[in-house]
Structure 1
């Protein structure tokens, strides 16, 4: 299954320097799976600890904790199985 993932091309926009209004990243299976797409969310103000869908008809959701640059992912496989993953992302300011 697609349960080993690589996160790349992460971006986040903080218009006031204190909160995100846009987040996105690429997620790809690294174990021979077919998962490979860009996941993103935009809002006037994205909320920490809130789950956002990676897209319409997506089986993947994400949440971001800006205080620790923590990305949480969950993939609903079936009614009984959900995979969950975490990653801490480096914080670069441009």
Structure 2
């Protein structure tokens, strides 16, 4: 009985996680790196010129900020591409 309850709880958590992730991904798909930057980064930071850092440095910076801002993989990728492109 106890084992079945644990399995049911784990299955429920996995299902909830999948639903939440799919909702978040849907919201991100139609947004550009520029939009995601302004929604997630520009609240706290001024936009530095893209030439301020190399592409590698942008990846390191955005990896760090991805954790702090709790960004999804898609958000991270689009923001990094935006900063590397210098749009």
Q: Same fold per TM (> 0.5)? A: no
Rg larger for: 2
Length-normalised TM-score, structure 1: 0.27
Q: Which has the higher strand share?
A: 1
Q: Which has the higher contact order (CA 8 A, sep 6+)?
A: 2
Length-normalised TM-score, structure 2: 0.29
